[in-house]
């Protein structure tokens, strides 16, 4: 895979809600050349085929583009040590040296374009298997995978709408420091395959013409990937945050994921379903710990007797009276009707998180200091409000960063800050504004370490509402401690994958070097082991498989230093389990375990993992022919 030619990759910045369209646009266009077209290899004797360079341009408030970088270098793919560092290849000191040499000054900042480790992490197989979360047997579907990245390091003053530095912010939630960021890719509208001549002569050439048409975009993580249904995805990709289809707001105010976080037959004291609603919580046990408030604060003085129901189709906070809305952002004639919509309960939390940002205004403050009234003033913890209704990743640049070596640093992002602000004595004894670790985390921007899938699942389950004082159903009318079992279930929910499979760099571009083509697969198989070396456990002095390759029966030959109980799991290279040999006690000495694949096990590469209890003691590579 490569950065494509005849494509405009653009990063868009919105920093002023009073202007039309983007305030800053960075445009990247890439060019590929073959330095030695006489060879099959991409790299040979210091020359590189498909060698990629780029041009970086900038436009301010729609003005003409100016060039920041005329011919930036994209490092070659990390084919392997011979190609990268060997004398027959590029002869580089290391791949990191290639990355360092490709970092280029740009407009007061820095830019890097090139292949890196994919820093995203998620058990994609389980999530897409109809929410089949498997925290005890999770697998990072992006482990040991590489991607191309475009990374920019830009001074705050270059992004702030009036050129202020970070030190000039009025406070750590200064609204003048909020920016919205989104990225897009656009292609020429017409691609022509050049026909051969009458004699059959052809070079296989292609030509491109016409206006550039946007074909993809990305703002908030997982918006178009998960929140939007399949039927909306192409249209979403073709639009901008300034031309959103208002009908798509239905995906936020009654999100599909919420259907799997409510029971069709209410249990555990949940309120009766709203009329006409069907939920599917029972069908998705992987989300069993995630349940949405159905009668939050029921029976509390001064609030609706039945509390607040945030399940799809319910009324949420729209049942508040005019008097109850007074003093809150809900009383605003412009935004109140957007945030409180009858029958659209998540217009109050998920919609602003994705489409407007969240203001530092009542009731969008932590329950700390509210005295039990969710509509009172509380402890500020977010302000990334940018009043343009459109999908962008919003960031308040005035918020300090949490040191990565802080014991409080968490991949749960802003949810971790909320947890500290509610429960930690350093922060919950006062409603005054103060920096809480992880206030710089998703959805206030998104750090590479932030576990966006888990945060979004917990958010759909109502955890942000709870942090504002809209507690879960088991916080009944006489309860005094809102940290109830239901809240605990949501806070402890995990997909089993909570961090990337490798480290991040301490300096720009922060993303890690890409995996070597000669080593990535070996390490990918090793992720099944407790350490990356596939080292022998003390109880196992030797393990081999024969015949290998095999067309039928495979024997795992073991030499055990002591008696032990072993089980075997056979997986393919994608981590899918294809066979299990039940646990059995084996004496010290030589023993054989036999695997006879059934007819469904197709030829290919497999890994036999030997377990002692839940501890992996050895993995063996098996080739089936």
Tell me the pLDDT tens digit for each residue of 196-211: 999 999 999 999 999 9
Please tell me the predicted confidence (pLDDT) of residue 617.
77
Measured distance CA(589)–CA(558) in Å, rounded: 8
* pLDDT of 546 over the 90 cut: no
Measured distance CA(538)–CA(446) in Å, rounded: 43
* pLDDT of 376 over the 60 cut: yes
The mean pLDDT value for 514-525 works out to 68
Average pLDDT, the chain: 93
The edge-to-edge listing of strands for the beta sheet with 615-624 is 577-586, 564-572, 604-612, 615-624
Instruction: With cut-offs at 50, 70 and 90, classify the pLDDT of residue 296.
Output: very high
The mean pLDDT value for 93-112 works out to 97
Model pLDDT for residues 590-601, shown as the tens digit of each residue: 788 998 998 888
Helix, strand, coil percentages in the chain from 3-state DSSP, rounded to 5: 20, 25, 55
Tell me if 557 sits within 8 A of 568, measured CB to CB.
Answer: no
Strand, coil or helix: 121: coil
Please tell me the predicted confidence (pLDDT) of residue 539.
57
Measured distance CA(520)–CA(232) in Å, rounded: 36
Share of residues in the chain with pLDDT > 70 (%): 96
C-alpha neighbours within 13 Å on the C-beta side of residue 509? 29
In 3D space, the residue among 156, 254, 302 whose CA is nearest the CA of residue 460 turns out to be 254
Measured distance CA(495)–CA(133) in Å, rounded: 6
Please tell me the predicted confidence (pLDDT) of residue 521.
54
Please tell me the predicted confidence (pLDDT) of residue 572.
81
Model pLDDT for residues 347-373, shown as the tens digit of each residue: 999 999 999 999 999 999 999 999 999
The mean pLDDT value for 45-72 works out to 98
In total, the chain counts a number of residues equal to 625
Model pLDDT for residues 231-252, shown as the tens digit of each residue: 999 999 999 999 999 999 999 9
Tell me if 546 sits within 8 A of 557, measured CB to CB.
Answer: yes
Please tell me the predicted confidence (pLDDT) of residue 104.
98
Angle between helix 413-423 and helix 452-460 axes, rounded to 10 deg: 60
> Residue 325 carries which DSSP code?
H
Token pair 């089949």 is found at: 132
Tell me if 448 sits within 8 A of 218, measured CB to CB.
Answer: no
Instruction: With cut-offs at 50, 70 and 90, classify the pLDDT of residue 391.
Output: very high
Strands, E assignment, 126-205: 146-153, 178-193
**502 burial level (CB within 10 Å; 0-12, 13-18, 19+):** middle
Q: Which residue has the higher pLDDT, 95 or 615?
A: 95
Q: Nearest-5° angle of CA 372, CA 376, CA 378?
A: 85
Instruction: With cut-offs at 50, 70 and 90, classify the pLDDT of residue 62.
Output: very high
Distance between the two ends of the chain, CA-based, in angstroms?
A: 29
- Highest mean pLDDT: which of 328-342, 519-533, 554-568? 328-342
The mean pLDDT value for 111-136 works out to 96
Model pLDDT for residues 476-496, shown as the tens digit of each residue: 999 999 999 999 999 999 999
> Residue 379 carries which DSSP code?
B
Tell me if 398 sits within 8 A of 166, measured CB to CB.
Answer: yes
Please tell me the predicted confidence (pLDDT) of residue 200.
95
Helical H runs in 284-349? 322-325, 336-339
Please tell me the predicted confidence (pLDDT) of residue 524.
41
Compute CA 101 distance to the chain's CA centroid, rounded to the nearest angstrom. Answer: 29
Measured distance CA(373)–CA(320) in Å, rounded: 13
CB atoms within 10 A of CB 494: 16
Q: Which residues contact 589 (CB under 8 A, 6 or more apart)?
A: 559, 560
The mean pLDDT value for 303-312 works out to 98
* pLDDT of 621 over the 70 cut: yes
Please tell me the predicted confidence (pLDDT) of residue 15.
98
* pLDDT of 26 over the 60 cut: yes
Instruction: With cut-offs at 50, 70 and 90, classify the pLDDT of residue 278.
Output: very high
Task: Tell me the DSSP string of 425-487.
Answer: TTTTT--S----TTTTSTTSS--TT--HHHHHHHHHTTHHHHHTT---TTS-TT------HHH
Measured distance CA(243)–CA(48) in Å, rounded: 42
Please tell me the predicted confidence (pLDDT) of residue 220.
98
* pLDDT of 561 over the 90 cut: no
Bridge partners, residue 546, by sequence: 555
Return the CA Rg of the chain.
28
Bridge partners, residue 526, by sequence: none
* pLDDT of 523 over the 70 cut: no
* pLDDT of 528 over the 50 cut: no
Please tell me the predicted confidence (pLDDT) of residue 201.
95
Compute CA 489 distance to the chain's CA centroid, rounded to the nearest angstrom. Answer: 22
Model pLDDT for residues 146-157, shown as the tens digit of each residue: 999 999 999 999
Please tell me the predicted confidence (pLDDT) of residue 295.
98
* Confidence (pTM): 0.84
Please tell me the predicted confidence (pLDDT) of residue 22.
98
Model pLDDT for residues 394-453, shown as the tens digit of each residue: 999 999 999 999 999 999 999 999 999 999 999 999 999 999 999 999 999 999 999 999
Please tell me the predicted confidence (pLDDT) of residue 522.
43
**Phi first, then psi: what are they for 551, rounded to 5°?**
-105, -5
* Pairing, β 47-48 against β 8-14: unpaired
Please tell me the predicted confidence (pLDDT) of residue 392.
99
* Pairing, β 109-117 against β 104-106: antiparallel
Please tell me the predicted confidence (pLDDT) of residue 533.
33
* pLDDT of 518 over the 90 cut: no
Instruction: With cut-offs at 50, 70 and 90, classify the pLDDT of residue 381.
Output: very high
Q: Which residue has the higher pLDDT, 223 or 622?
A: 223
Q: How many helices (H) and strands (E) does the chain have?
A: 14, 19
* pLDDT of 181 over the 90 cut: yes
Please tell me the predicted confidence (pLDDT) of residue 590.
79
Please tell me the predicted confidence (pLDDT) of residue 540.
56
Tell me if 444 sits within 8 A of 384, measured CB to CB.
Answer: yes
Compute CA 607 distance to the chain's CA centroid, rounded to the nearest angstrom. Answer: 28
The domains found in the chain, sorted by start residue, are: 8-218 (no CATH), 243-385+400-499 (no CATH), 528-624 (2.60.40.1930)
């Amino acid at each position: 895979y490569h950065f494509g030619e005849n494509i405009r990759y653009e990063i868009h910045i919105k920093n002023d809600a009073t202007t039309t369209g983007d305030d800053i646009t960075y445009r990247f266009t890439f060019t590929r050349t073959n330095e030695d077209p006489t060879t099959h290899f991409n790299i040979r004797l210091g020359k590189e085929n498909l060698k990629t360079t780029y041009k970086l341009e900038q436009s301010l408030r729609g003005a003409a583009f100016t060039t920041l970088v005329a011919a930036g270098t994209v490092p070659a793919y990390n084919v392997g040590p011979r190609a990268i560092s060997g004398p027959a290849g590029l002869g580089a000191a290391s791949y990191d040296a290639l990355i360092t040499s490709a970092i280029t000054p740009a407009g007061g900042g820095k830019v890097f374009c090139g292949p890196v480790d994919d820093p995203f992490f998620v058990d994609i197989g389980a999530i897409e298997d109809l929410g089949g979360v498997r925290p005890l047997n999770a697998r990072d579907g992006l482990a040991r995978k590489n991607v191309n990245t475009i990374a920019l390091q830009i001074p705050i003053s270059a992004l702030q709408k009036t050129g202020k530095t970070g030190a000039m912010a009025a406070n750590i939630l200064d609204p003048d420091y909020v920016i919205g960021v989104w990225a897009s890719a656009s292609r020429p509208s017409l691609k022509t395959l050049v026909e051969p001549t009458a004699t059959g002569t052809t070079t296989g050439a292609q030509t491109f013409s016409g206006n550039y048409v946007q074909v993809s975009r990305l703002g908030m993580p997982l918006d178009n990937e998960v929140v939007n249904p399949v039927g909306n995805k192409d249209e979403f990709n073709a639009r901008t945050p300034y031309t959103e289809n208002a009908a798509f707001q239905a995906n936020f105010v009654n999100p599909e994921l919420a259907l799997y976080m409510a029971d069709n037959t209410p249990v555990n004291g949940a309120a009766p379903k709203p009329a006409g609603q069907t939920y599917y919580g029972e069908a998705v046990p992987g989300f069993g710990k995630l349940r949405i408030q159905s009668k939050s604060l029921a029976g509390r003085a001064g609030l609706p007797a039945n509390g607040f129901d945030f399940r799809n189709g319910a009324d949420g906070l729209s049942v508040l009276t005019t008097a109850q809305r007074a003093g809150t952002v809900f009383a605003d004639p412009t935004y109140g009707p957007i945030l409180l919509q009858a029958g659209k309960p998540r217009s109050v939390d998920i919609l602003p998180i994705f489409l407007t940002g969240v203001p530092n205004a009542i009731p969008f403050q932590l329950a700390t200091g509210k005295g039990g009234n969710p509509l009172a003033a509380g402890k500020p913890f977010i302000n990334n409000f940018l009043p343009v209704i459109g999908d962008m990743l919003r960031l308040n640049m005035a918020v300090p960063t949490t040191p990565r070596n802080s014991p409080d640093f968490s991949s749960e992002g802003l949810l971790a800050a909320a947890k500290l602000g509610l429960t930690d004595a350093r922060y919950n004894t006062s409603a005054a504004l103060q920096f809480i670790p992880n206030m710089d985390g998703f959805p206030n921007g998104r750090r590479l370490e932030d576990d966006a899938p888990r945060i979004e699942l917990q958010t759909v389950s109502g955890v942000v509402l709870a942090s504002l004082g809209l507690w879960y159903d088991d916080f009944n009318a006489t309860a005094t401690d809102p940290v109830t079992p239901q809240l605990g279930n949501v806070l402890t929910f995990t997909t089993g994958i909570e961090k990337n499979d490798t480290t991040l760099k301490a300096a720009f571009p922060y993303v890690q070097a890409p995996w070597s083509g000669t080593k990535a697969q070996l390490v990918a198989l090793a992720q099944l082991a407790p350490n990356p070396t596939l080292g022998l456990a003390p109880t196992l002095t030797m393990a081999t498989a024969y015949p290998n390759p095999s067309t039928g029966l495979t024997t795992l030959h073991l030499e055990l230093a002591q008696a032990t109980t072993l089980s075997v799991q056979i997986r393919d290279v994608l981590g899918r389990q294809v066979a299990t040999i039940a646990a059995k006690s084996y004496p010290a000495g030589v023993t054989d375990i036999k695997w006879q694949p059934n007819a469904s096990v197709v030829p290919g590469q497999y890994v036999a993992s030997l377990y002692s209890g839940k501890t992996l003691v050895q993995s063996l590579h098996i080739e089936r022919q």
